Copies of this chain bind each other. A is one copy, B any other.
C-alpha cells in the first residue's frame, strides 16, 4: 500500500524574525492561510490516508505538530531522538511502514514546500510510485527549471525507463554558468520528492550507505534510540541516490518551490499588479516587487523596489530581495540576544 513520509524537522533562520525554534518555517503560513505542513498534508491526503502518513520531526516540535494536526494519529508524528540528516530519517520512517506493511511503497517529501498544482503533484507521485514498483528502482521527482537557479541541486536524466528516465548524474548547486548550461541540456531540479518500495530502499542502504549500516539491526527491530545512536549523518541524495545503480527520475511540473527565503514569497503567494506580496495589514504605495509581512500593526511601504519588510515577534526587519537568502549570515553579525531566537 501507499505510504507518505513528510520530513518536518527543519530548523533554520531564513524566515527570521517570524520563524523561531517553536515556530519553524514548516509551521508558518508562508504560501497561504495554512502552514506549509498543513498544505503538505492536504496535498497528499487524496493519495494516501492519514493512517499511513508519517511525519518525522524533532522531539522539540513533535507535540506542537500533533496539536496542529488533529486529523493525524498522534503516533504518526515520529520524534527523532537526535537529528542525523535525511537518509536516517527516511530509513527510520520507511522501516516503520515496512513493519506494518511488507509491501509498503513510500512517497517522501519535505514539509516546507509550496506547490502550485496539487493535482499534478499527486499525478507525479502516482507515476513515480508505479515506476518504483514496476522497475524496482528508487525514484526522484525532477521539476523542469523555470529560471536559472544556483540554489537547487540539478539532475541530468539518462536513458528512458518506463514512465521516467534513468539518472545520468547529479549536480549540486551549480554556479550561474553551469546552471544555464544544465537548463539548456534539459536537466531537472531535484525536488527532494522521492518514491520507493520499502523493500528496495532497505536493500540499497544496506549495500551503499555505510553511514547507516551499524544501525540496521536496531532499525529493523524498531529501536529508534539504538538506530540513531549508531548512525552518522548523510543526506539521502548523497548517501543513497548518488551511489545506487537503481536510481530513476520522473518529471513533475507542479509549480514546486522550496520557499528558500523571504524573497521566494513573491513566487508562492498571490502578487498584486505591481508584483508585491503581503501578509497582514500591509499597504504598499508606489512600490514594486516587495514582500511586506506584518503580524503586529499596520505596515506601510512607500517608494521601495524589491524590498523585504517583516514585523513579527516584536522585531522589525528590512532588507532586499537580493539579500534575503543571506539572512543566516546576517544573524551571525547581530548581537546574540537578538539573533538567538532563530527559526527555520
Contact = CB atoms under 8 A, between A and B. Distances in A.
Contacts of A322: 303
A317 B300 contact: yes
A302 B318 contact: yes
Interface residues of A, number: 33
A30 B304 CA distance: 24
Contacts of A315: 297-300
**Oligomer: number of copies:** 2
B300 A318 contact: yes
A336 to B, nearest CB: 12
Contacts of A311: 311, 316
A203 to B, nearest CB: 48
Which of A285, A298, A320 counts the most chain B CB atoms within 10 A? Answer: A298
Contacts of A334: 283, 285, 300
B303 A319 contact: yes
Interface string A288-326: 000000101111111110010101001111111011000
Contacts of A330: 285, 300, 302
B323 A316 contact: no
A212 to B, nearest CB: 40
Interface string A33-45: 0000000000000
11 contacts: A283-B335, A285-B330, A299-B316, A300-B315, A300-B318, A301-B318, A302-B319, A303-B322, A303-B323, A316-B316, A318-B318
Interface of A: 17, 281, 283, 285-286, 294, 296-304, 307, 309, 311, 314-320, 322-323, 327, 330, 333-335, 338
